[in-house]
Chains A and B, each alone.
Chain A
Amino acid sequence: MRWRYALTAILLVSAVLFAQPSFAQSTVRIAWYSDGNEGEVLLDLLKRFEAANPDIKVVVDQMPYKAISETLPVQIASGQGPDIARVTDLGGLARYTLDLRPYLKDPAYWEKNFGPFLAWMRPTGDTQSIPGFMTQLTVTGPFVNKTLFEQAGITMPGPKATWDEWAKAAKAVADKVGAPFPIAIDRSAHRVFGMVISDGGKVFDDKGEPAVTDAGFKAAAQRLYDWHKSGIMSRELWGSVSGATYRGANEEFKNGQVVLYMSGSWQIAQFDKTIGDAFDWTAVPNPCGPSACTGMPGGAGLIAIKTAKDPKAVGRVMDYLASEDVLREFDSRALFVPGHLGLSASGVDYPSASPLAKQALVVFTQDVGSVAPLAYRLQGYPYNRVIFNAVISRLGQAISGEISLDEAYKRIDADIAQEIAVRKK
């Protein structure tokens, strides 16, 4: 009998050891960052994908935005990056993207629905490839603490108000209620260029090369400089760190310390979740300058990386995430303005949003329609990050009193020329 037990045991162990899954499973790795709840929504959507596609396992590496903007590019350049990444520097990473066309079910669907934004992701000179899609379209614009206006008994400026009118009103409110920040603008040149273009800034010369410090730019820069001198803006944001370091004022806004906060549509979900009924807030249309009333477009794109181990699997994951129904649910639950033309046309419902968030989404969706063409061009310019870095670094120095504005203009032009030369080598 003993040999029978032994044989049975050997057979059982062999069955466990040598059992193979009936299919080979591919792993697709996604590098992802979140401003709000979009990471949770993505994981939920991917669970369904994995259930329907047992041969593909999707691993999502959730990382802070700083890692996406600073560590990920080096990882990708060294060939050690993920298969897919959610990024905002689309032009800077364009040379590492995978052309998904051979791996997509219907490339025409992508062209039709993501067409205008694909140019942002393509390497210079490429007009055909499909590197990814926009997980959200963003537009910069101001949020206002309505409760502070009501407490101060001051009427909010109307839809076509200028920046100067808003500054005057915000300062009056802050003085009356004791708010420390009349206006706060994220320490990011991307937030500034809406104002620059509204003030008549052209950004590029006739040959298409950057020519940033023109009269329009100087008008906006002078305004920001003066606001810091007069206390309309606090130096805590722009003057307290060096270089191109990003600093947001979302925490200060959530704490009710800011009257007008210039940021963008990506903040809606977190404001909706964290402010609750602490105070009433609203989004307002971008203030006007002599030339326009524009914000800057932008957004996060989900791009496929050239070094992906299994491009076919990557194509299937991307096809799923970019499909209209999935993207509709994603945008609806994450409270995002869609970067999909079909969804923009049909509209997205936001059942989970509060009335305040719904109103903000309406304002930002309308703002998308008034974005100046130059703003789109700047957003699609592959070296826009070079321009943004130079502007924020040097304006920050001027605002902290280290250099004059004139010195800052000279340095901005020199920095941009030098950095673009490095990239073109």
Chain B
Amino acid sequence: MTVDTQHPPAARPMAGLDLWGVVVRLTDAPMRAVQRLLGERRMPYVFLLPNLAFFGLFVFVPLGLNLWYSLTGGAALFPSQRPYVGLQQYGFLFDCGNILDVSSCREDHFWRGVHNTLFFVVIQVSLMVLFSLATALVLNRPIRGRGFFRAVYFFPVLLSPVVVALIWKWILQRDGLLNAAITTLGGQKIIFFVDPSWAMFWVIFVSIWAHMGFYTLILLAGLQAIPRDLYEAAAMDGTRPMRVLLRITLPLLWPNMIVVIVLALIRGVQTFDEVFVLTGGGPGTSTLMVVQYIYETAFANQSQNFGLAAAASVVLGVVLFVLTLLQLGLGRRKAGA
């Protein structure tokens, strides 16, 4: 088979009804006109324009609207009907005697959400990275049924967060599977969701269970990219396994670890659906996360405090932006190295 590289498709003689050729001919003349008008160097922007318009409409316009809402008050929905209040909503959010003592804050639920989210992120991300790494290391070894175990660990990632939360709620409720097992073994039923410590424990556990497979996969890919000859050389030198892990595996896996840490951090800060369905933010507000605070302030039970919710969204957006910059920065350093 030969390929005609000399003549692009539009220039080739058409055989029968060549639809592609018709389309190219139809667009050829106007595109040439645009190119004559703008010059060749500006043509890439013309091709990017449809995507930019789409992105702008569905990302930048809502962003701008959210920012505007955060500067307005009242309960009206349409921006034109909302009075401008400047930075008042941000003032309400940050009106705190001491941010470590939430009872001194005007918007105590917001700060409870911030504290809970920070606690959740620190513990969940640390444990997630640890467990993902351990699992990836095991699954990278030539064990029996390796393919099966890889699928098993990845399977929860395919489930919707709501389904995950409902499954675990069913397991953990008063008459759930776990309590049935406990009572069968002679123990007393534990009402997990009325105890703040248990509730937070299960929120973190379920989150790790649901997402660990994804991060394990990233680390597994990193492990498989490490040249085998390094391990062979280490084995010939009689290097101890722990030293191999610390001196070869972890340093070479570090770029993937950075990706996992930053992605898990961003995902952790955004946590909402699983926790909302599993504990509803309770008991009290012990598992209330920032995103749930935003949702409840705007929508739950006709709260309709859209301005305050938008201001909290902007604060959350800034945090996520910083985390994204961190990821980009580390990614560039990796590329530079």
Chain A interface residues (CB < 8 Å from chain B) = 69-71, 73-74, 77-78, 89, 92, 180, 234-236, 239-247, 385, 388-389, 396-397, 399-403, 407, 411, 414, 419, 422-423, 425
Across the interface, which residues of B come within 8 angstroms of A402, CB to CB?
Answer: 284-286
Across the interface, which residues of B come within 8 angstroms of A419, CB to CB?
Answer: 303, 305
Across the interface, which residues of B come within 8 angstroms of A389, CB to CB?
Answer: 301, 303
> Are A400 and B284 interface neighbours, CB within 8 A?
yes
Interface size class of B (residues with CB under 8 A): 35 or more
Give me 5 other A-B pairs in contact (C-beta within 8 A), A73-B302, A422-B304 excluded: A240-B280, A242-B281, A397-B284, A411-B108, A425-B75
Across the interface, which residues of B come within 8 angstroms of A245, CB to CB?
Answer: 280-282, 300
> Are A242 and B280 interface neighbours, CB within 8 A?
yes
Across the interface, which residues of A come within 8 angstroms of B78, CB to CB?
Answer: 77-78
A-B contact pairs, 6 of them (CB 8 A): A236-B191, A239-B282, A245-B280, A388-B301, A400-B283, A400-B286
Across the interface, which residues of A come within 8 angstroms of B174, CB to CB?
Answer: 180, 236
Query: Residue of A at shortest CB range from B298?
Result: A74
Give the distance to chain A from B288, nearest Cβ to Cβ, in Å: 5
Residue from B106, B283, B286, B299 within 8 A of A235 (CB atoms): B283
B73 at the A interface (CB under 8 A) = yes
> Are B75 and A423 interface neighbours, CB within 8 A?
yes
Residue from A70, A180, A240 within 8 A of B194 (CB atoms): A240
Give the distance to chain B from A424, nearest Cβ to Cβ, in Å: 8
Give the distance to chain B from A389, nearest Cβ to Cβ, in Å: 5
> Are A242 and B302 interface neighbours, CB within 8 A?
no
Across the interface, which residues of B come within 8 angstroms of A400, CB to CB?
Answer: 194, 196, 282-284, 286
> Are B73 and A242 interface neighbours, CB within 8 A?
no
Across the interface, which residues of A come within 8 angstroms of B196, CB to CB?
Answer: 400
Contacts known (A236-B191, A407-B103, A422-B73); A242 close to B282, Cβ less than 8 A: yes
Across the interface, which residues of A come within 8 angstroms of B301, CB to CB?
Answer: 69-70, 243-244, 246, 385, 388-389
**Bound CA span A425–B307, Å:** 12
B74 at the A interface (CB under 8 A) = yes
Query: Residue of A at shortest CB range from B303?
Result: A389
**Bound CA span A419–B297, Å:** 10
Most B Cβ at <10 Å: residue of A74, A92, A402: A402
Residue from A92, A239, A407, A425 within 8 A of B83 (CB atoms): A425
**Bound CA span A399–B287, Å:** 16
**Bound CA span A199–B280, Å:** 31
> Are B193 and A236 interface neighbours, CB within 8 A?
yes
> Are A397 and B302 interface neighbours, CB within 8 A?
no
**Bound CA span A78–B288, Å:** 28
Across the interface, which residues of B come within 8 angstroms of A69, CB to CB?
Answer: 301-302
**Bound CA span A307–B181, Å:** 55
**Bound CA span A61–B307, Å:** 30
> Are B284 and A78 interface neighbours, CB within 8 A?
no
B14 at the A interface (CB under 8 A) = no
Q: Contact string, B173-217, partner A, CB cutoff 8 A, digits 1/0?
A: 010000000000000000101101000000000000000000000
Give the distance to chain A from B193, nearest Cβ to Cβ, in Å: 5
Give the distance to chain A from B83, nearest Cβ to Cβ, in Å: 6
Contacts known (A180-B174, A241-B282, A242-B288); A422 close to B75, Cβ less than 8 A: yes
> Are B300 and A70 interface neighbours, CB within 8 A?
yes
Give the distance to chain B from A41, nearest Cβ to Cβ, in Å: 27
Across the interface, which residues of B come within 8 angstroms of A407, CB to CB?
Answer: 103
Q: Contact string, B84-112, partner A, CB cutoff 8 A, digits 1/0?
A: 00000000000000000001001011000
B77 at the A interface (CB under 8 A) = yes
Contacts known (A235-B194, A422-B304); A242 close to B284, Cβ less than 8 A: yes
Across the interface, which residues of B come within 8 angstroms of A247, CB to CB?
Answer: 280
Across the interface, which residues of A come within 8 angstroms of B304, CB to CB?
Answer: 73, 422-423
Give the distance to chain A from B206, nearest Cβ to Cβ, in Å: 16
B279 at the A interface (CB under 8 A) = yes
Across the interface, which residues of A come within 8 angstroms of B273, CB to CB?
Answer: none
Across the interface, which residues of B come within 8 angstroms of A242, CB to CB?
Answer: 280-288, 292
**Bound CA span A407–B108, Å:** 12
> Are A422 and B305 interface neighbours, CB within 8 A?
yes
> Are B296 and A397 interface neighbours, CB within 8 A?
no
Across the interface, which residues of B come within 8 angstroms of A236, CB to CB?
Answer: 174, 191, 193-194
Give the distance to chain A from B164, nearest Cβ to Cβ, in Å: 18
> Are A241 and B279 interface neighbours, CB within 8 A?
yes
- Considering the complex of A and B, which 9 residue pairs feature the smallest CB-CB distances, nearest first? A242-B281, A241-B280, A400-B284, A425-B74, A402-B284, A77-B77, A241-B282, A400-B283, A235-B194
Query: Residue of A at shortest CB range from B194?
Result: A235
> Are B77 and A78 interface neighbours, CB within 8 A?
yes
Q: Contact string, B263-297, partner A, CB cutoff 8 A, digits 1/0?
A: 00000000000000001111111111000100010
> Are B296 and A239 interface neighbours, CB within 8 A?
no
**Bound CA span A376–B307, Å:** 32
**Bound CA span A396–B282, Å:** 9
Contacts known (A180-B174, A243-B300, A411-B108); A425 close to B279, Cβ less than 8 A: no
Q: Contact string, B303-336, partner A, CB cutoff 8 A, digits 1/0?
A: 1110110000000000000000000000000000
Across the interface, which residues of A come within 8 angstroms of B77, CB to CB?
Answer: 74, 77-78
Give residues 11-59 of B contacting A (CB, 8 Å): none
Most A Cβ at <10 Å: residue of B287, B292, B296: B296
> Are A422 and B284 interface neighbours, CB within 8 A?
no
Across the interface, which residues of A come within 8 angstroms of B109, CB to CB?
Answer: 243
Most B Cβ at <10 Å: residue of A234, A240, A419: A240
> Are B302 and A401 interface neighbours, CB within 8 A?
no
**Bound CA span A311–B174, Å:** 50
Contacts known (A236-B174, A423-B75); A89 close to B194, Cβ less than 8 A: no
